[in-house]
Amino acid sequence: MPVLPRTLVSRKRLLERLTDSTTGPLTLITGPAGAGKTALTASWANEGPAPGPVVWLNVRDDDNAPGVFWSYVLGAFRFHRVPLPDGIGSPVLADDVDRSLLVRLSSAVAQLHRPVVLVLDGLERVTARDVASGLDFVLGHSGPQLRLVLISRVDPLLPLHRYRAEDRISEIRGAELAFTSHEAAKLLRRHGLSLSEESVGALTGRTEGWAAGLRLCALAMQRADDPDRFARSFTGSQHVVTDYLLAEVLDALPPATQNLLLRTSILERIHPQLANVLTGRDDAEWILAHLARANAFVEVTGDPPWCRCHPLFSSVLRAHLRSRLPGLEPRLHRLAARWLADNGRLTEGLEHATATGDWAYAATLLIDHLAVGRLLTGPDTHRLERLFSGMPTTFPGAAPALVAAACALARHNAPAGWAQLDRAQAHLGGAAAAPSLGTRLAHTLLLLLAGGEEHGSTACATAESLAHRTRDLMAEVAQPCLEQHPEIEALRRYGRTGALFEAGRLGEAHDALEHALAACTTEVTRTVRYECLGRLALIESVRGELRRAQAHAREGLEAAEEYGIPHHRRTGVCHLALAAVAFDRSDLQSARHHLDLAADVSGMAHDPVCAAETAVLRARLELAYGNIQAALAVVDTAGGAHAEQSALRLAETRSAIHLARGDPAAAIGALRDTGGMPAYAVSLAAAHLAAGDTERAARLLAGLGQFDRAGVTDHVRILLLRAQAAVLDKDFATAEGLLARALDAARPEQFRRPFTEAGPWLRHLLARRPDLGVTHSWLTERLADAGTPGSAGDDSLSVPAEALSPRERDVLRCAAHMMSTEEIAAELYVSVNTVKTHLKSIYRKLSVSRRSEAVRRARERKLL
């Protein structure tokens, strides 16, 4: 039995496994060289939990002959003082053993008073089937008194499948032998080293818990000036590890196997066919399978026939490749890139294509495989962006320029994207040969996504033309290839929406976004889905569809978290939409919170529409708190927006600020012609009404027809302006009817802001109709930011609620104690139907629909 080193770490979890497993007939411990198999078993034998005496035999190469092997087994029994009868005898011939001797040995072991544990260490050296069959025979005929422990780098020739089927074997494999970070820290302390948790974790991860590697590193760190730095920067190239792996593993392999390992060391995962390509041979499958069986630091992954080398072994092999075969590595990377790309593993292929800085080849590979969209959407976008992050932005060629453009657009940097597309166009125009289909498709698609300097109807027409050209090019692609890239169609549909959105054609943009969202059905389109949800939410918030906006924005934020979209790839639009929803519901604190979160995303600065919408919300927030000059400064700072939607929203906001400061003329001057847009006409009508020009305001409102193009926001504002005009004409009946319609339209969305901004006339009108205040208490209850002059507190429309009867208060008190309807009935000595009637009345008076809301509302109003 080997002598245990003083630095041995007692690993309780594995010792307990061994103790449990030796209650059965066979325990198999396998793992690569240096995995700690022998040390574990010797530690277990020395600590005394074995069920009986331990007989230990270190198997050597010359023990492969049956007679020699069994002679040493019998000698081991005698050496460890396990009594066997003298009549058993010994083998006569080295190459053979008499079956009767094995019968006598089995019988003698079966008659022992205590079980005996026979440990055979290094059984991989025994390749003779006669030895294996003899072991199987003795184990099967010794009864429960023989407990066999086999230590080997490979599975022995025993019929393991039968033992597994009969539940007569326990196995401890290499993965279980790996040291945990906690065990590695104990090992390092045994060597007099005290490292930080971060350093221990880095070293354990790099070695993958390989026992010999950790011990060799510990020995090296004892001589290092800075052990922590050694651990964090350890790469496996240190000579202590290199020497061990070369001597114990690589040098023991045949030349053909060594050549295969050297050439495939550039791969993270090895496929037999790819290995054949790199070696020019056709026997890689057999060699790799043999290495995996031999635990020679090669293992089959969960996706056979793919396998992998231990990272430390790979790093040693790569260093050996560069010294033994200099200049070969770039060629191997290119061969691997082509094979991987052609076999559906493009990202892995690009990792090899970019490894040597061959940017022209890498970019061409991406473009020709129609995968430029993968830089914009999908689970590999971050990896691809990282791969091309080292490519110079001025690297010549159309393909590199297109890749650089896609990277810029992925970061929401449209100006940089346009510059790269101009470079690509220059290269394409000067090329002697016609560009490939992949190049033309990538160029057209990226032009569509980047937009351009045109605005309004011209931009929409250009986008529509580019979308048609993209579809025509897609028709030239083979259908199976197109089916592998659903992101192209999703991006094509999404690309149409930008121009519509900027042109203020919100209804068409909304429909186009829903059409794009319908194409986002796979994993590779998930970033497009996130973008669509944010844009839908923003449009819906502008149109006053607050519930849908909130749902889409929250869904978008959840998608960003679920998909792991990094911060620099996010747009902030979802938070911007939630800020708009909160503002329109007069929750100013939440509006400011979400607005700050939106502004924290770098992509917002590159989106003119979102930048303008951010300015609009910030200005309106300042206005809500009474800071008129600050609000005007926000709008003035954001000036110069060219997109029609942006210009419209900023002009409306500037007009609202002038109205708040009592300057209707300036409010009118801030608005030019209506451009046929309902929101613009509504703002202009409000300004004329404030100026006393009711006739002009009426004409503007009459031109809006039956609101066929107006959203909830414009619908409510139009009704309120007509109600205001009716109040000015002393037509209170008409005004009350219009107000009731406006409240009904706003109630589903809890749309408060148009009412809180309407002015004193609305308070007087509500005072004439207190029933409206009771029915619409969602509006008249005190708002979230109440209390500060000039804030939402002054926006509250305090209308007394209809009083609750004493019995209704009793029912509400019971409901507050979470009592059921039946329990309330029993408590108050009334029928269940009576309780239900009281609850319905309470819901009506408090303008709620659920018991929990009634209790909350009653507490807010001090009714409980």
- Provide the residue ranges of all domains of the chain, joining segments of one domain with +: 12-177, 181-234, 806-860
Look up residue 273 and give its two tokens: 């066919």
Residues across the chain: 864
From 462, 466, 510, select the one nearest 491 (Cα to Cα).
466
More confident residue, 311 or 498: 498
- Taking only the tens place, the pLDDT of each residue in 740-797 is 999 999 999 999 999 988 878 888 888 888 888 777 878 866 433 333 333 443 444 4
Instruction: For 532-646, list the strands marked E by DSSP.
Output: none
By mean pLDDT, which of 71-75, 383-387, 721-725, 822-826 is the weakest? Answer: 822-826
Determine the average pLDDT of the residues in 661-687.
80
Looking at residue 795, its pLDDT comes to: 41
Looking at residue 56, its pLDDT comes to: 94
More confident residue, 777 or 187: 187
Looking at residue 673, its pLDDT comes to: 58
- Range list of H helices, 343-413: 346-355, 359-368, 381-388, 398-410
Q: What CATH class does 12-177 carry?
A: alpha beta
Looking at residue 88, its pLDDT comes to: 87
Please, what is the average pLDDT of the chain? Answer: 86
* pLDDT higher than 50, residue 804: yes
Looking at residue 676, its pLDDT comes to: 57
800 prior amide bond cis, ω within 30 = no
Determine the average pLDDT of the residues in 90-97.
84
Looking at residue 438, its pLDDT comes to: 94
Looking at residue 639, its pLDDT comes to: 62
Looking at residue 545, its pLDDT comes to: 93
| Rg of the chain, C-alpha, whole Å | 39
Q: Is the pTM of this model over 0.75?
A: no
Looking at residue 792, its pLDDT comes to: 40
By mean pLDDT, which of 102-106, 140-144, 315-319, 599-603 is the weakest? Answer: 599-603
Determine the average pLDDT of the residues in 810-833.
84
- Range list of H helices, 249-342: 255-263, 272-279, 284-293, 311-324, 329-342
By mean pLDDT, which of 246-255, 464-473, 483-492, 783-792 is the weakest? Answer: 783-792
Looking at residue 649, its pLDDT comes to: 85
By mean pLDDT, which of 322-326, 354-358, 708-712 is the weakest? Answer: 708-712
Looking at residue 705, its pLDDT comes to: 60
Which fold is adopted by the domain 806-860? Answer: Arc Repressor Mutant, subunit A (1.10.10)
DSSP 153: S
* pLDDT higher than 80, residue 423: yes
Determine the average pLDDT of the residues in 113-142.
91
By mean pLDDT, which of 14-18, 113-117, 149-153, 679-683 is the weakest? Answer: 679-683
* pLDDT higher than 70, residue 469: yes
From 464, 528, 538, select the one nearest 501 (Cα to Cα).
538
Determine the average pLDDT of the residues in 341-347.
90
The angle, 0 to 180 degrees and rounded to 10, between the axes of the packed helices 644-660 and 608-624 is 10
Q: Which amino acid is at 5?
A: P
Query: Is residue 262 exposed (0-12), middle (13-18) or buried (19+ Cβ within 10 Å)?
Result: buried
- pLDDT band of 830, cuts 50, 70, 90: confident
Looking at residue 640, its pLDDT comes to: 57
* pLDDT higher than 50, residue 708: no
The per-residue b/e assignment along 173-182, b for 16 or more CB within 10 angstroms, e otherwise, is ebeebbbeee
Query: In the beta sheet, which residues pair with residue 148?
Result: 26, 118
The angle, 0 to 180 degrees and rounded to 10, between the axes of the packed helices 608-624 and 486-502 is 50
* pLDDT higher than 80, residue 40: yes
Determine the average pLDDT of the residues in 73-87.
89
Looking at residue 570, its pLDDT comes to: 82
* pLDDT higher than 90, residue 674: no
